[in-house]
Copies of this chain bind each other. A is one copy, B any other.
Amino acid sequence: MSLLVVGSVALDSVRTPFGVRERSLGGAATHFSVSASFFADVSLVAVVGEDFTAEDEAVFHERKVNIGDLQRIPGGKTFRWVGEYGFDLNTAKTLDTELNVFADFKPQLTEAAKQKPFLFLANIQPELQRTVREQVDCRFVAMDTMNYWIESAREELLKTVAVVDALIINDAEVRELAGEANLIRAARKILTLGPRMLVVKRGEYGAAFFTKDNYFATPAFPVEDVFDPTGAGDSFAGGFMGYLAQADRIDDHALRRAIIYGSVMASFNVEEFSCDRLRRLTPEEIRRRFREFKDFTHFEI
């Protein structure tokens, strides 16, 4: 089955303890689509400026991501993010954000885009996410968000959360959105807001999955050389949604495997800058790491 993602394509400048990368391809929709492309046909809706080059586009073509609906604004500049990570690599410090063409992004889906059965609303303004969601009648809709929207656009965010199937956010966001320090209680509270499932990204600690009747959790893959965490959460969401679209079923069996595939993709993403690691990733490497998850979490009853 095929998958649509709406969100940001950006040019990032990132500094980590291991190096600096100026002007590399980034953005939530980028990391998501490159990751999901290993599992399903992916179409991307986003906006870039005139400074977006053929070289920037190359990764989408390599990964056969459909960018027919990637708008180009003549005379515009692509969304820019400048950030750095300290030695613990856990939280990015944003040094600069230029919205540029992204400030006026008003996604209008084509008829073809509206037909996709799976939709991922990457982290953008919640009202925009909702206008996209209202244009489709698809089988499964998931969304991300961030602390900024929880704090500055809470009412809009709650209206959007109410109309998706799955919320895929990190654990600090779960606690903040629910106003509850205990993750389990916070998750239960969020499940009363509309979504029938909540996926919690916990970075180096793994991921957890909640529905009203079900709970699943996994530790993260033990990555010895975390080089750049940028896009880890979006690569996770890409693996999760991509696998569901591929499996074409949304039951406990598939959802648990989707969480593991999400974790696999995030673990590769952090090994190098930008999408560098995913660009040369092979399906066999994905399968092998999936089996490694089984090996390092298995115990006998």
- A residues in contact (CB < 8 Å) with B: 87-89, 181-185, 188, 202, 204-206, 208, 215-219, 222-226, 253, 256-257, 259-260, 290-291, 294, 296-301
Number of copies of this protein chain within its complex: 2
SS class, residues of chain A in contact with chain B? mixed
Query: In the complex, A222→B217 CA distance in Å?
Result: 9
Q: What residues of B have a CB within 8 angstroms of the CB of A294 in the complex? A: 299, 301
Cβ B217 vs Cβ A181 within 8 A: no
Pair B204/A219 contact, Cβ less than 8 Å: no
* Interface hub of A202, A217, A226, A290 (most chain B Cβ within 10 A): A217
B188, B219, B223: the one within 8 Å of A218 (CB):
B219
Cross-chain contact A297 with B181 (CB below 8 angstroms): no
Q: Which 10 A-B pairs have the closest CB atoms?
A: A217-B219, A205-B205, A256-B299, A184-B224, A184-B222, A87-B181, A88-B181, A215-B296, A294-B301, A185-B224
Say yes or no: A183 contacts B206, CB within 8 Å. no
Least CB distance, A130 to chain B, in whole angstroms: 30
Instruction: List B contacts of A202 (CB < 8 A).
Output: 205
Identity of the chain B residue whose Cβ is nearest the Cβ of A210 in the assembled complex: B222
Report chain B residues within 8 Å CB of A223: 182, 184
**Contacts A205-B202, A301-B291; A226 near B296 (Cβ below 8 A):** no
A219 to B260 alpha-carbon distance, docked (Å): 13
